[in-house]
Amino acid sequence: MGVKEDLEAVLKETGRSRESLKSAGQIISKYISGALKVKPDEVAILLLTSTQSTLKFIWPPPLFDSNAALPADYQNAFASSVLKTMKGKVDNKVAESKHLKFFENVKGLETSGLSVQKMIGVPLIYEGKGLGVLEVTRKGKTAQEAGPNFTADDGQKLVAIAKEFVPLIAGMIPDPFF
């Protein structure tokens, strides 16, 4: 089965709920980590809340479980920039640029405490509107240790995977979603 079929089964079983979103995050991160050869906890999925003012993490689990969120218009947040422009973004020198270190300090991840060296993100678009952001990082002590740079081909892969799952995720978001 593929990501679409796996998510359809979750949606059928649990409908619009936090439980659905939590399961979806695990399924999506598995597919993305395989496609881009990263660890599942190097994937982050953020969705806009009902007020459209906050991005809430549905993956990785420690951030979902703690209801972690950030303002959708936060100037120094990679995800906010992707959502604002509605365009993918690649930064293979994250460690050298001003950025939130929030994701680097999350406890309970395989990559906890490692610096984000490289990041790619794409907007999650549903019915012509921003639904959220999909981010993938490469973490390590150095850029070399983190792995290869992200490429335009990686962006194409993310867009293709997102097109498969975005309509299903949209159907899982509880109303209201805060």
What are the sequence ranges of the domains in the chain? 3-170
Inter-residue contact 57 to 45 (CB < 8 Å): yes
Amino acid letter, residue 105: N
- Provide the pLDDT for residue 58: 95
Q: Whole-angstrom Cα distance, residue 122 to residue 135?
A: 7
Task: For residue 32, give every residue at least 6 positions away whose Cβ sits within 8 Å of its Cβ, in sequence order, or none.
Answer: 38, 43, 134, 136, 158, 161
Residue carrying structure tokens 């365009």: 87
* Blockwise average pLDDT, block size 10, the chain, 178 residues: 92 95 96 95 95 94 90 89 95 78 62 85 96 95 94 95 96 93
Please give the model's pTM, rounded to 2 decimal places.
0.92
CATH fold group of domain 3-170: Beta-Lactamase (3.30.450)
- Provide the pLDDT for residue 136: 97
